[in-house]
Amino acid sequence: MFIHKDISVIGVPMDLGQRRRGVDMGPSAMRYAGLLEQITSLGFNVKDCGDIRIDRPEKEKDPEKNLRNLKEVFAASEKLEKEVDLIVQEGKFPLILGGDHSISIGSIAGISRHYENLGLIWYDAHADLNTGETSPSGNIHGMPLAVNLGLGDSSLRNIGNYSPKVKAENIVIIGARSIDEGEKLLIKEKGIKVFTMHEVDRLGMPKVIEETIHYLSQRTDGVHLSLDLDALDPLDAPGVGTPVMGGLTYRESHLALEMLSEAKIITSAEFVEVNPILDDKNRTADVASELVASLLGKKLVLT
């Protein structure tokens, strides 16, 4: 089930799911950090599919739906869904580079149709379970997990002509520490498994990942990793648009991805929310590139 030797990388330079400019340069920053070279050095056959073209908005916000840049996010998601669908059809591992977290609407739509029970690890400081009715901002990057559950705007949730993309019982959120009240209610209602920073601190990252692997292995036939760099503490990943103090450490995150690599359950992945404008000498893109390498099997080897 694990990662194929052939990996297709696709960038989504999207900054329309939120209001801070710069995250559209995330894919370029990760490539500049040596991401493709790192993957190739691990023995993978890597194809860089380039970037999805993103249209600029005619108007920023739909006043009736409380959704910012809905038309353009929908168009980009449709393009990404088609590209990712083809990658999976070709038997390759999709590695998607964001862009803000709204890109997961398109990526998961392209992936999930190939699985009976897709599992989803949402590695993020936020739950991203808002809808237009509950969102305080109207930013779609705070809504993609809800959309993939079949909630919220009908055009977004029906991309790929099916909904939902993932079942609530197949989701594990790791690292959450900024959850809106409406999201808390939805988590309880749907029974979504969440390891907040409280659980990570009490249990330790090894136990959290062991439980995640056991939980998802029993009920899924593939697992998508959606990793938002703001899951990490801003001290380790400063170049993100919505930093939240008290996050996961650099080493905890490497351990998590090393354990997921060893478990051989990850079948697709995306890394999002790298914003070079807010970064310090491309540190966050470097961290993202290194985390990708850990997911793909890079280890500290003593000779």
Choosing from 24, 100, 233, 273, the catalytic residue is 273
290 in catalytic set: no
Terminus-to-terminus CA distance in the chain, angstroms?
Answer: 30
126 in catalytic set: yes
Residue 1 has pLDDT above 60, yes or no: no
CATH class in words for 6-295 = alpha beta
Q: Are 145 and 134 in contact (CB under 8 A)?
A: no
Residue 226 has pLDDT above 90, yes or no: yes
Residue 40: HSE in the Cβ half-sphere, 13 Å Cα cutoff:
9
- Name the more confident of 202 and 1: 202
* E strand residue ranges, 81-205: 93-98, 118-123, 171-176, 193-196
224 in catalytic set: no
228 in catalytic set: yes
Pairing type for strands 93-98 and 6-12 reads parallel
Q: Are 80 and 10 in contact (CB under 8 A)?
A: yes
Mean predicted confidence (pLDDT) in 114-124? 98
* pLDDT tens readout for residues 213-224: 999 999 999 999
What confidence score (pLDDT) does residue 61 get?
55
What confidence score (pLDDT) does residue 58 get?
60
- Give CA–CA dist 4/297, Å, rounded: 12
48 in catalytic set: no
What confidence score (pLDDT) does residue 253 get?
98
What average pLDDT does the structure give for the chain?
Answer: 94
Residue 248 has pLDDT above 70, yes or no: yes
180 in catalytic set: no
Question: Where are the chain's structural domains?
Answer: 6-295
**Helix count and strand count (H, E) for the chain:** 11, 10
* pLDDT tens readout for residues 39-75: 999 999 999 999 999 987 765 655 556 788 999 999 9
**Residue ranges of the alpha helices (H) in 90-153?**
104-112, 144-148
Choosing from 228, 233, 270, 286, the catalytic residue is 228
273 in catalytic set: yes
Closest alpha carbon to 25 in 95, 81, 100:
100
pTM equals 0.96
301 confidence band (pLDDT: 50, 70, 90): low
Residue 26 has pLDDT above 90, yes or no: yes
Neighbours of 2 (CB within 10 A): 15
What confidence score (pLDDT) does residue 302 get?
53
252 in catalytic set: no
Choosing from 24, 81, 100, 126, the catalytic residue is 126
What confidence score (pLDDT) does residue 160 get?
97
Choosing from 78, 153, 230, 270, the catalytic residue is 230
Choosing from 78, 81, 128, 180, the catalytic residue is 128
Q: Are 291 and 227 in contact (CB under 8 A)?
A: yes
Choosing from 141, 180, 224, 290, the catalytic residue is 141
What confidence score (pLDDT) does residue 65 get?
64
